[in-house]
Each structure stands twice: as structure tokens, then as C-alpha cells.
């Protein structure tokens, strides 16, 4: 199976649950959590796979540090060894 | 699964030019004070990203406005100056002018920029100040709870337009970008939106472009950002975002309103400041001349002098200059002097007058309410001041027929057509100098040498100096003749 | 030591530049315009900044910006313009930004006229902006003092991190007298708190905003403390024949000059008259007034306003001595003969009362 090109991290403490990233995400891999964080927000949650690393969620997020997007730079395939490098 | 071995690197994260923790904020120091889905938060992120990408964090100075973004300094790890409501462009102007190495960014809301600060933004733009203005337009006064702004849409309800904005009484939405784009100076003005991903991506490019212009010292750049305010609009963040695109954009078309970036010349480098030693000279402050002690204090030898003169006439007769030459000559002669003009519109029309004192002791009041000598260059002046002349004093009047009712027993009069004398000398405009010559003869306080020095200082053209000297000489002769005629002294003035 | 003839307004700009002022933002108004005009000519010559602002509101906010950037800067205006600057002056004091503002006062209220008045005392000395703040106020009475006090104003502004105002009447601004510029040209360094757009100052922040109640209270108390210090250290007066004076004349600016002539004449007539001229209007020279109250029998305040300075004199004397007041307004000047007549009348009354007391007749 191919590795996702990107990865999303949401800081639960910073997210205000506005949902703009959910709306912005082209592959629709972000949702709001069912439960509330300690401020009372339903925070953004990565579905776990399918992130392309486009950074759209980061760009639309009004909170400075709520969203971090990572890019795949080196993927390990089943057999081992580098299959691809990100940018 | 083998993903365990996959390596990821951070690609998008908290901009470096924003603090990791907001220590200036009272509590909740990990999040902004903005509401969920606020356009300000989005614009902050885009602006900070631009600062990072351009590598200008150290040199950036951000002025924050009054409005929801008043606390921008909580977040931006750059030099911060918080300005009064609407005044950020004036504040930014001054910072940039004195610190041309700084990249100065004025961040403002729509109430701040288009209402109370409309003059400041207009003139900063018109002067072509080298600043970036980030103009966040959410069509409402948010911080104060949702009152109407000049940018509020037609029909849009607010707490001060409860029935919806009515153009008949409240006018139309003010399109600041279009308005400013009518000016010559701005190099770059663009309106962008936060209505969807594409718009936001464009907003990011525009903001970076504007800031880049400023770093290159190209002049005035502004990006207007149509931004959601979900709280005051009473919408969810996603609804508010859509409203920007579906509704707001119709009143505020997106696009570039001005782009002269390619042709813009960078502002000239500031001049190298002169050395401190050169400054007095540049200010026209005269250096002491060795041996010329006479000016450096009042005259100690010779007879005591206490002379008060009033000179009056109509504007254009050289009333003030007459007084100035007299004062300057007095100073040359080592006397204490003062010169006090009438000022204001009187200078342009109607009457003009001045008070001059020459004294061997420090002068208390520079006002001359009871002159020893009155120089009246026209009849109205004579009528105004004749009664004020001290008993035993002189009236020098520009006219042969001295009005009988103004004749005083206790005052000497020298009444002549001085203007005609001046005409005979070559120019009627030197009548003031003929009269000054007469005055000097009668008062006997300053020597010709001092007068000559004063004249050459105040009158730049040698041709005029020559004419003035002749005029002065003529005046002296006229006064001497008069005095011989009446054979009365004038010691009164110099007692 | 070389004296040259110059207008008060022109002396201000030269003294300012010598004191290290390198930015001027102005808006024209009679009778202060020569200051702005001279700055327009001279600032560029010394590598300084001159901006003709779109209004006094903009000018004072430019001061806020220039001062934030750590530059010695100034502006000048007259009554109507100073009214517009009050917003900015409050912000400057709140944000602790040093700067110098000259008010060459004209007639008011409203447009009033272009004549000379002293009716801006309240708006300058008491402050017309919001909040608990003070401006230090210097009141020159001659062209020489226009120069000397401008230099002092910059020193005080930096020392107290506060706006300092020069309050002069139109006469002092417009008249020419010999002036000598004392002291070398200065180049003040950049204060450590300034925001200059450099790495070293990136952490600096200028604001007048303190959201927490306790923070604002602490800040206001700090300002209060500064003002108390200034009150201890900076009050200045000119005294003339006050030691044995029975009648003490009080006036500032041009009025102080007129009163000096009155003192000379009164002394010549054998009357024990003196002059106390406040040079600083804030801090007010309260202790000087307390000192004369021990022997003066009457204090006569003369102003070109309907009574503004006189309030402070009464507060300072706190009933210790009777206060008489004489004023002219509208551009008119209290004539030296008018004041002399008042002094003569007061002296006669005092003399009469003394004789009645000698005769043991109680005086109502
Ligand atoms: C002189 C002055 N008048 C009024 C106010 C009150 N006030 C604070 S913020 C604001 C409106 C701000 O609206 P805008 O610029 O649109 O910013 P937003 O809050 O919408 O971002 C007003 C009127 C003030 N602080 N100062
Ligand atoms: S955009 Fe930011 S604040 Fe909004 S839900 Fe996504 S992560 Fe949370
Ligand atoms: S009220 Fe509006 S502008 Fe202010 S923080 Fe909230 S969403 Fe943003």
C-alpha cells in the first residue's frame, strides 16, 4: 500500500472547532470530533489517511498553531528501501 | 504495517513570526482572542507567512488598529506599535520616514480605515508612503458589537441600521480600494476575499506581494481582504465564509485595482546626515566673530538709550521691513532690541504695524503703547496712533497735509510726501527707507555703519541696497532740514 | 556668544534641531506657521524628516509614530489645532512617548481670532484628552526663552518619557529679539524601548492599552509617580523684587514682560511691588507661591484669558493671601498703564487699611 503524501496534526488545545478546515480539505479527510475538548469545542480530527499534504487546512485555519501539515520525504515499502521522496 | 518507517517533515506549521505562546495575553495563551472562524485569524496567518517567506521578521514593524485586531501585538513576534482608532497610517508614516530600513505594516479594520481614519489612509496613500496596509473588511463594527460601518452592505442589518442600511440616508458601501486607486501614488492595490480556498490562496499571494513591495521601498501597497465575522453576522463560520463569496463579493468585486509594481522606482536612499559640527551653520546660526563683542551684550558706554517706535501703514508699504532694519541696526550698534509685528490677515490687506524698541538696558515689554516716534505711512495709521505718541515725541507722516484735528501741541511733526521723494529716487517702494532715514536722524541712536550692516543682511539684492542707502540719506537730509527749520531739539527720545 | 535677531517661532525650530530633534510633523495655523515653515526648510538639511500632515490629528499621531521609533520629534500649532491634538496627547502620555508640542496661542473659543491670548492654559496645562495624565508645560516669555526652553523641553520629555508642551502666546512666537543658541548640537541615542525595525528592538511594543484592571491601575500609579517626581524637581519661576514685595504681580509669557515694566515703574514710585513669573505651568511652582504668602499682602494675577492661571494661583496660596485678578482678552493686551492703575489703587487701599489699624479702628 502506498504511503500518504501528507499528514495532518491538530493541536487539540488550540483548535476552536470552526470547521473551516473540514470544509477546505479537498480529499475530505478532516472531520470534527464527536466529543468536546476541555474548552468545549468539537475539534478537528484527521480521518487517519488520505491526506495529500496540500496545506489547505493550514491556510484557512484562523488559529496560528492549531494545524500542522507534514510532507512525506521518505517512504518505506513492505520490502524495505526508499520508494519515493517528497519535496 | 511498514508505514512505521515512513519519514515525514513539517511543511506547514505555526509561522515563525508569530509567538509560540501569547504571553502578552491574560489567559488562554495558546489560542487567539478571536472567535472561531474569524477572518482576522486567517489574515494574521497569511501575513505572518509572508513575513516568514520574505525573511523580514527582524525588520518588520506592525501597527495595530482599534477594533477586534487591536491585540495583533499579542501574536506577531515583530516590532509592535498600537495606534489610536483610525490613525495607524499616520503612525506608520512617521515610523517609516525615520526608519526607512523597517518594513512597516499598518493592519486595520473597515471601521478604523474607512470611517474614523478615512483622512489618514487617504493621505498616506496620496503621499505614496512606503508602507503596506492590510485592510480587513468585514462590513461591520465588530469589536463594539455590530454597528453599521461605511462598508456595511445595502440592506444589511446592524445595531445602528436595524431596518437594514438605507442608501437614502446612510449612503452606499464605501469602496476604499477603488477610491484609493484613483490616486497617482499607490503602486499596488488589490481586493481579495476569504470566501473559498481559491480566494484564500489569492489573498496569500496578494499579501506577500504587497509586503514585498514595501521591503523593496516601492511605495504604497494595500490589500483589502473581504473577511468573515461569523459572530456579528450571526452565522456559522462556514456560512460566513460562503456569505463572503456569495453576497459580499457582489458589492466588492475582487481584483487588482492598481498595479504599477513593474515600473515603480524604489524610494531614494535617505541622505547621509551631516556631522554635528556642521549643524549650526546649516541652521543659519551665526558663529561669533572674533573681536565683535558689541553684539554680545548691551552697550555699556555712551549715552543711555530708550527708544520706542511704532511703524504703521498699509500692507505692502514695507512697514515690517522698516522696523526690522531698525531693530537689526540697533543690534549691530550693541543695543538691546525687540520687534513685534501685527500679524495675520492684516499682513495681506488693510493695515500693518509693528513695535520696535531700542534700549541700552534689557527690554521689559516689547509692546510700544506710547511711542517716542510714530512712523505713519498713511492717513488711517496716523488717525489710529497719533494720540498714543508720547509728549515731546515725533510723528513722521507720509503726507504733506497733516490733518488739522490731529495736530498736537506737545508733539513734533515731520509731514512730507515720502512716497514722492522715493519716486524721485527711482522707486516709490523705498518710501519706507526714506522715512527710516528721517527717523534715524531724529532719534540719533544708531550710526550709519550699523544701518549699512543691517541693510546688507536683510536686503539680498545689491541694487536694492544701493537704492535703500540713497533713500536713507535723503530721509536724513529731510529730517535735518525740518529740525533746523523749527530749531527744536529732539532730546526727548534719548533721555 | 553671538546674538542674532530672530522670531520666536524660528528660534524654536533651530533650538529643537540643536537638541537632536530630527522629525517635525505640522499643519499650518496662525500664529504658529513659521515653526512649520522653518522646519520644512531646515529638517531636510540636517537629514531629518518633515511631513506636512493632513490635519493636527494626523500630525499628533505622526508624533506617536516618530517617538515610537525612538526619534526626537515635535509639532507646533495653536488653539484650534491643539484641541484636535488632544486625542493623540492622551495616547502619547499613556504610551509614555516623549515629544515636544508648541502651542502659540491665539484668540478663542472656536475660530476666535488671530490675536494673542492665553486662553489655552486649561487645555494645555490641565490636559484636554481622556484619562489620568499630565503634560509638562513650559512658558517662554522671550525669543531667548523660546530657544532655551525648547532645548529643555526635549530633555524633560526624554527624562520623564512624556509629552512636553511649550505654551507661548502669539506675541512671543511672532516677535523678533536677539537670541543666542547655547550649547552644542546634540545627537541623542535611540532609547532602548523604541521600535526601530531592527533585531534588537523586535521584542519592543508600544501601547496605551492595559486590559486588566490591575495592570491599568499599576500603570496609572506609575505615571502618577513620575508626575510627583517632576513636581519635586522641575518647577521653575522668575522672581523680581519679591523679597520685600507687598504686592506681587503674577503673569506668564508676554504678560510677565509687561508686569516687569509695571514693577519698575511702581518701584520708582516707592511702591513695594514684585513679580513672580511661572516658567513651568505644570509642574506648578506651588512652593514659590507659599513662600511669598508669608509677606505679600496681595497677589495680583494678570492674564490674557478670563481666569485660568489664577485658579492654580488660588490653589497654591490656599487662602493665605488675597488674590486680585485682571484680564484682557480677544487679542487685547493688558496695558502697563492699566495694571499700574490697579496697583496704585491697591496700594492706596492697603495703606488706608494700615492706618486704620494703627488707629485701632477695626476694619470690616
Ligand atoms: C475614538 C474612538 N471612537 C470609538 C471607539 C470605539 N471603537 C472601538 S473598535 C470600533 C470599531 C472597529 O470596527 P472595525 O474597524 O471595522 O474593526 P473590527 O472590529 O470589525 O475588526 C469602535 C467604534 C474608540 N476606541 N475610539
Ligand atoms: S480550521 Fe483550525 S480551528 Fe478551525 S476546525 Fe480546523 S483546525 Fe480547528
Ligand atoms: S467579532 Fe468578528 S471580527 Fe471580532 S473576533 Fe469575532 S469573528 Fe472576529
pLDDT for B206-224, tens place per residue? 999 999 999 999 999 999 9
Does B238 sit within 8 Å of A69, measured CB to CB?
A: no
Please give the radius of gyration of chain B, using alpha carbons only, rounded to the nearest integer: 36
Whether C313 and C245 map to the same domain: the answer is: yes
C226 located within any domain: yes
What's the confidence (pLDDT) of residue C70? Answer: 98
- Mean pLDDT of the region B118-126: 98
Q: Which fold has domain B302-487?
A: Pyruvate-ferredoxin Oxidoreductase; domain 3 (3.40.920)
| Residue nearest (by alpha carbon) to ligand 3 atom 4 | B68
> In B295-323, which positions are buried (b, 16+ CB within 10 angstroms) versus exposed (e)?
beebbeeeeebbbbbbbbbbbebbbbbbb
- Mean pLDDT of the region B372-392: 96
What's the confidence (pLDDT) of residue B315? Answer: 82
Which of the four pLDDT bands, split at 50, 70 and 90, describes residue A84? very low
Does the pLDDT of residue A86 top 50, yes or no?
no
Residue at which a domain ends, from C175, C200, C233:
C233
Query: CATH 3.40.50.970 in chain B, residues?
Result: 10-259
Whether C283 and C227 map to the same domain: the answer is: no
Whether C106 and C183 map to the same domain: the answer is: yes
The average confidence (pLDDT) of chain C is 96
Does B365 sit within 8 Å of C336, measured CB to CB?
A: yes
Whether C241 and C226 map to the same domain: the answer is: no
Residues 6+ apart with CB under 8 A from A81: none
**How far, in Å, CA of A39 to CA of C186, rounded?**
56
Chains near C with 3+ CB pairs less than 8 A apart are B
Which of the four pLDDT bands, split at 50, 70 and 90, describes residue B124? very high
| Contact call for residues B363 and C260 (beta carbons, < 8 A) | no
What's the confidence (pLDDT) of residue B428? Answer: 96
Which of the four pLDDT bands, split at 50, 70 and 90, describes residue B348? low
- Mean pLDDT is lowest, of B298-312, C158-172, C273-287, C291-305, for B298-312
Q: Is the CB of A48 under 6 A from ligand 2?
A: no
**How far, in Å, CA of B75 to CA of B34, rounded?**
11
- Mean pLDDT of the region C129-154: 98
Answer with the residue of higher pLDDT: B445 or C202: C202
- Provide the residue range defining the domain that includes C333: 237-359
Query: What is the value of ipTM here, to two decimals?
Result: 0.95
C364 located within any domain: no
C151 located within any domain: yes
Q: Provide the grid cell at C342.
A: 490697579
What's the confidence (pLDDT) of residue C174? Answer: 96
Does B236 sit within 8 Å of A65, measured CB to CB?
A: no
- Nearest ligand, CA B143: 1
C190: left (phi over 0), alpha (psi -120 to 50) or beta: beta
Answer with the residue of higher pLDDT: C360 or B133: B133
Q: Is the CB of A25 under 6 A from ligand 2?
A: no
Whether C42 and C174 map to the same domain: the answer is: yes
Among A3, A11, A13, the residue with its CB nearest the CB of B3 is A3
| Contact call for residues B117 and B87 (beta carbons, < 8 A) | yes
What's the confidence (pLDDT) of residue C356? Answer: 74
C48 located within any domain: yes
What's the confidence (pLDDT) of residue B57? Answer: 98
Whether C56 and C204 map to the same domain: the answer is: yes
- Which residues of B touch chain A, with CB atoms under 8 Å apart? 1-15, 18, 20, 28, 30-32, 34-42, 44-46, 48, 75, 194, 197, 200-201, 204, 230, 236-238, 241
Q: Which of B40, B111, B152, B231 to mutate to test the pocket of ligand 1 (most atoms within 8 A of CB)?
A: B111
DSSP-derived 3-state class of residue B384: helix
CATH of domain A6-84: 3.30.70.20
DSSP β-bridge partners for residue B188? B221, B259
pLDDT for B20-43, tens place per residue? 999 999 999 999 999 999 999 999
Chain C residues closer than 8 Å to B123 by CB: 53-54, 58
The residue among A12, A54, A60 whose CA lies nearest residue B41 is A60
Residue at which a domain ends, from C233, C257, C284:
C233
Q: Provide the grid cell at B168.
A: 437614502
Percent above pLDDT 90 for chain A = 76
pLDDT for B103-112, tens place per residue? 999 999 999 9
Residues 6+ apart with CB under 8 A from C157: C72, C98, C99, C100, C136, C163, C164
Q: Is the CB of B144 under 6 A from ligand 1?
A: yes
What's the confidence (pLDDT) of residue B342? Answer: 85
Work out the number of other CB atoms within 10 angstroms of the CB of residue C299.
Answer: 25
Which of the four pLDDT bands, split at 50, 70 and 90, describes residue B291? low
DSSP label at residue C202: T
DSSP letter for each residue of B123-171: HHHHTT-S-EEEEEE-SSBTTTTSB--TTPPTT--BTTBTT---HHHH-
The residue among B151, B201, B224, B192 whose CA lies nearest residue B45 is B201
**How far, in Å, CA of A64 to CA of A60, rounded?**
10
**How far, in Å, CA of A45 to CA of A55, rounded?**
15
Does A59 sit within 8 Å of B30, measured CB to CB?
A: no
The residue among C316, C312, C344 whose CA lies nearest residue C247 is C344
Q: Is the CB of A15 under 6 A from ligand 2?
A: yes
The residue among C157, C80, C123, C49 whose CA lies nearest residue C281 is C123
Does the pLDDT of residue B63 top 70, yes or no?
yes
The average confidence (pLDDT) of chain B is 93
Does B40 sit within 8 Å of A59, measured CB to CB?
A: no
Does B36 sit within 8 Å of A18, measured CB to CB?
A: yes
Chain A residues closer than 8 Å to B23 by CB: none
List, in sequence order, every beta strand (DSSP E) within chain C: 4-7, 23-26, 49-52, 73-77, 99-107, 113-116, 136-138, 163-169, 176-179, 205-206, 237-240, 247-250, 273-278, 280-282, 298-303, 323-327
Does the pLDDT of residue B296 top 90, yes or no?
no
B364: left (phi over 0), alpha (psi -120 to 50) or beta: alpha
| Residue nearest (by alpha carbon) to ligand 2 atom 1 | A61
Does the pLDDT of residue C249 top 70, yes or no?
yes
Does the pLDDT of residue C295 top 60, yes or no?
yes
pLDDT for C87-125, tens place per residue? 999 999 999 999 999 999 999 999 999 999 999 999 999
- Mean pLDDT is lowest, of A7-11, A14-18, A76-80, B393-397, for A76-80
Whether C220 and C265 map to the same domain: the answer is: no
DSSP letter for each residue of B356-369: EEEESS--S----S
Q: What is the CA(B84)–ligand 1 centre distance, in A?
A: 10
CATH of the domain at C13: 3.40.50.970
C179 located within any domain: yes
Residues 6+ apart with CB under 8 A from B464: none
Question: Which residue of chain B comes nearest to C178, CA vs CA?
Answer: B337
**How far, in Å, CA of B394 to CA of B409, rounded?**
11
CATH of the domain at C260: 3.40.50.920
Q: How far is B97 from chain A (nearest CA, A)?
A: 31
* Single pTM value for the model: 0.94
Which of the four pLDDT bands, split at 50, 70 and 90, describes residue A87? very low
Query: CATH 3.40.920.10 in chain B, residues?
Result: 302-487
DSSP label at residue B245: I
| Distance set, CA A67 to CA A9, A58, B24, B29 (Å) | 6, 5, 22, 16
Does the pLDDT of residue C248 top 80, yes or no?
yes
Residues 6+ apart with CB under 8 A from B317: B352, B377, B378, B431, B432
Whether C227 and C311 map to the same domain: the answer is: no
Q: Provide the grid cell at C14.
A: 533651530
Instruction: Kindly give the residue spans of alpha helices, DSSP state H, lying in C107-253.
Output: 121, 143-160, 170-174, 213-233
What's the confidence (pLDDT) of residue C361? Answer: 65
- Mean pLDDT of the region B440-469: 94
Answer with the residue of higher pLDDT: A82 or C64: C64
- Mean pLDDT of the region C323-345: 96
pLDDT for C43-83, tens place per residue? 999 999 999 999 999 999 999 999 999 999 999 999 999 99
Residues 6+ apart with CB under 8 A from C270: none
DSSP label at residue B185: S
Q: Provide the grid cell at B453.
A: 550692516
- Domain tally, chain C: 2
Q: Provide the grid cell at C206.
A: 508600544
Element housing B354 (H / E): strand B351-359
Whether C94 and C205 map to the same domain: the answer is: yes
> In B381-414, which positions are buried (b, 16+ CB within 10 angstroms) versus exposed (e)?
bbebbbeebbebbbbbbbbeebeeebeeeebbbb
What is the bridge-based pairing of β-strands B60-64 and B103-109? parallel
The residue among C254, C224, C211, C240 whose CA lies nearest residue C104 is C254
What's the confidence (pLDDT) of residue B285? Answer: 94
Residues 6+ apart with CB under 8 A from B2: A76, A77, A78, A80
Chains near B with 3+ CB pairs less than 8 A apart are A, C
Residues 6+ apart with CB under 8 A from C186: B276, C18, C19, C20
CATH class belonging to B10-259: alpha beta
Give the residue extent of every domain in chain A.
6-84
What's the confidence (pLDDT) of residue B491? Answer: 41
Answer with the residue of higher pLDDT: B349 or B464: B464
| Contact call for residues B73 and C205 (beta carbons, < 8 A) | yes
Amino acid at each position: 500500500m502506498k504511503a500518504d503524501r501528507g499528514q495532518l496534526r491538530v493541536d487539540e488545545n488550540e483548535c476552536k472547532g470552526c470547521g473551516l478546515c473540514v470544509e477546505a480539505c479537498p480529499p475530505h479527510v478532516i472531520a470534527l470530533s464527536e466529543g468536546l475538548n476541555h474548552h468545549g469545542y468539537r475539534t478537528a480530527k484527521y480521518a487517519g489517511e488520505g491526506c495529500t499534504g496540500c496545506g489547505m487546512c493550514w491556510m484557512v485555519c484562523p488559529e496560528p498553531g492549531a494545524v500542522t501539515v507534514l510532507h512525506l520525504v521518505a517512504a518505506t515499502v513492505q520490502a524495505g528501501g526508499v520508494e519515493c521522496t517528497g519535496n | 504495517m511498514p508505514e512505521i518507517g515512513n519519514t515525514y517533515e513539517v511543511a506547514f506549521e505555526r509561522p515563525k513570526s508569530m509567538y509560540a505562546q501569547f504571553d502578552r495575553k491574560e489567559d488562554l495563551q495558546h489560542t487567539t482572542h478571536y472567535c472561531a472562524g474569524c477572518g482576522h485569524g486567517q489574515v494574521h496567518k497569511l501575513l505572518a507567512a509572508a513575513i516568514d517567506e520574505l525573511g523580514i521578521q527582524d525588520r518588520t514593524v506592525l501597527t495595530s488598529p482599534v477594533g477586534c485586531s487591536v491585540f495583533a501585538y499579542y501574536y506577531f513576534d515583530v516590532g509592535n506599535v498600537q495606534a489610536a482608532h483610525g490613525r495607524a497610517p499616520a503612525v506608520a508614516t512617521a515610523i517609516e520616514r525615520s526608519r526607512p530600513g523597517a518594513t512597516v505594516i499598518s493592519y486595520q479594520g473597515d471601521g478604523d480605515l474607512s470611517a474614523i481614519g478615512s483622512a489618514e489612509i487617504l493621505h498616506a496613500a496620496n503621499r505614496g508612503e512606503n508602507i503596506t496596509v492590510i485592510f480587513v473588511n468585514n462590513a461591520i463594527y465588530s469589536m463594539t458589537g455590530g454597528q453599521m460601518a461605511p462598508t456595511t452592505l445595502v440592506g444589511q442589518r446592524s445595531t445602528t441600521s436595524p431596518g437594514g442600511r438605507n442608501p437614502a440616508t446612510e449612503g452606499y458601501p464605501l469602496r476604499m480600494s477603488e477610491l484609493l486607486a484613483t490616486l497617482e501614488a499607490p503602486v499596488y492595490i488589490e481586493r481579495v476575499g476569504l470566501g473559498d480556498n481559491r480566494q484564500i490562496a489569492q489573498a496569500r499571494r496578494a499579501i506577500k506581494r504587497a509586503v514585498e513591495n514595501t521591503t523593496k521601498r516601492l511605495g504604497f501597497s494595500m490589500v483589502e481582504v473581504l473577511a468573515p465575522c461569523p459572530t456579528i453576522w450571526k452565522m456559522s463560520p462556514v456560512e460566513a465564509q460562503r456569505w463572503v463569496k456569495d453576497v459580499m463579493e457582489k458589492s466588492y468585486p475582487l481584483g487588482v485595482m492598481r498595479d504599477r509594481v513593474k515600473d515603480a522606482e524604489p524610494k531614494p536612499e535617505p541622505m547621509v546626515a551631516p556631522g554635528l559640527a556642521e549643524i549650526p551653520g546649516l541652521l543659519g546660526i551665526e558663529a561669533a566673530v572674533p573681536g565683535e563683542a558689541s553684539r554680545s551684550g548691551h552697550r555699556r558706554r555712551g549715552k543711555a538709550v530708550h527708544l520706542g517706535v511704532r511703524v504703521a501703514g498699509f500692507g505692502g508699504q514695507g512697514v515690517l521691513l522698516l522696523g526690522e532694519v531698525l531693530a537689526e541696526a540697533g543690534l549691530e550698534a550693541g543695543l538691546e532690541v525687540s520687534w513685534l509685528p501685527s500679524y495675520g490677515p492684516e499682513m495681506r490687506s488693510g493695515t500693518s504695524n509693528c513695535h520696535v524698541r531700542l534700549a541700552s538696558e534689557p527690554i521689559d515689554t516689547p509692546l510700544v503703547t506710547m511711542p517716542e516716534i510714530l512712523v505713519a505711512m498713511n492717513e488711517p495709521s496716523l488717525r489710529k496712533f497719533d494720540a498714543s505718541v508720547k509728549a515731546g515725541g515725533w510723528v513722521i507722516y507720509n503726507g504733506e497735509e497733516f490733518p488739522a484735528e490731529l495736530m498736537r501741541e506737545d508733539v513734533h511733526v515731520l509731514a512730507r510726501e515720502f512716497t514722492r521723494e522715493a519716486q524721485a529716487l527711482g522707486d516709490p517702494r523705498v518710501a519706507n527707507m526714506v522715512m527710516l532715514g528721517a527717523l534715524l536722524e531724529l532719534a540719533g541712536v544708531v550710526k550709519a555703519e550699523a544701518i549699512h550692516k543691517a541693510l546688507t543682511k536683510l536686503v539680498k539684492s545689491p541694487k536694492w541696497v544701493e537704492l535703500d542707502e540713497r533713500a536713507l540719506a535723503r530721509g536724513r537730509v529731510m529730517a535735518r532740514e525740518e529740525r533746523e527749520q523749527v530749531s527744536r531739539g529732539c532730546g526727548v527720545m534719548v533721555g | 556668544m553671538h546674538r542674532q535677531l530672530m522670531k520666536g517661532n524660528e528660534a524654536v525650530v533651530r533650538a529643537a534641531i540643536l537638541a537632536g530633534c530630527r522629525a517635525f510633523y505640522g499643519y499650518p495655523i496662525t500664529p504658529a506657521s513659521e515653526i512649520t515653515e522653518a522646519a520644512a526648510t531646515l529638517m531636510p538639511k540636517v537629514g531629518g524628516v518633515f511631513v506636512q500632515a493632513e490635519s493636527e490629528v494626523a500630525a499628533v499621531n505622526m508624533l506617536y509614530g516618530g517617538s515610537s521609533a525612538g526619534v526626537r520629534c515635535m509639532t507646533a500649532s495653536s488653539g484650534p489645532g491643539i484641541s484636535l491634538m488632544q486625542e493623540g496627547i492622551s495616547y502619547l502620555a499613556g504610551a509614555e512617548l516623549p515629544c515636544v508640542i508648541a502651542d502659540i496661542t491665539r484668540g478663542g473659543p472656536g475660530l476666535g481670532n488671530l490675536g494673542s491670548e492665553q486662553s489655552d492654559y486649561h487645555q494645555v496645562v490641565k490636559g484636554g484628552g481622556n484619562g489620568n495624565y499630565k503634560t509638562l508645560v513650559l512658558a517662554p516669555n522671550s525669543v531667548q526663552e523660546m530657544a532655551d526652553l525648547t532645548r529643555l523641553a526635549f530633555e524633560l520629555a526624554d527624562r520623564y518619557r512624556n509629552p512636553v508642551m511649550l505654551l507661548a502666546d502669539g506675541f512671543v512666537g511672532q516677535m523678533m529679539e536677539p537670541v543666542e543658541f547655547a550649547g552644542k548640537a546634540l545627537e541623542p541615542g535611540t532609547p532602548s524601548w523604541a521600535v526601530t525595525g531592527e533585531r534588537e528592538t523586535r521584542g519592543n511594543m508600544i501601547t496605551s492599552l492595559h486590559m486588566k484592571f490591575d495592570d491599568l491601575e499599576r500603570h496609572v500609579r506609575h505615571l502618577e509617580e513620575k508626575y510627583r517626581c517632576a513636581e519635586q524637581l522641575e518647577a521653575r519661576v522668575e522672581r523680581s523684587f519679591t523679597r520685600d514685595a507687598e504686592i506681587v504681580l503674577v503673569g506668564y509669557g508676554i504678560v510677565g514682560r509687561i508686569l516687569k515694566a509695571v514693577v519698575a515703574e511702581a518701584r520708582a514710585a516707592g511702591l513695594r511691588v514684585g513679580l513672580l513669573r511661572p516658567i513651568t505651568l505644570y509642574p506648578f511652582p506651588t512652593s514659590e507661591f507659599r513662600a511669598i504668602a508669608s509677606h505679600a499682602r496681595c497677589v495680583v494675577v494678570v492674564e490674557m484669558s478670563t481666569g485660568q492661571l489664577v485658579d492654580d494661583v488660588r490653589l497654591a496660596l490656599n487662602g493665605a493671601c488675597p488674590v486680585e485678578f485682571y484680564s484682557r482678552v480677544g487679542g487685547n493686551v493688558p496695558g502697563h498703564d492699566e495694571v499700574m492703575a490697579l496697583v496704585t489703587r491697591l496700594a492706596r487701599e492697603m495703606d488706608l487699611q494700615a492706618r486704620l489699624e494703627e488707629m485701632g479702628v477695626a476694619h470690616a
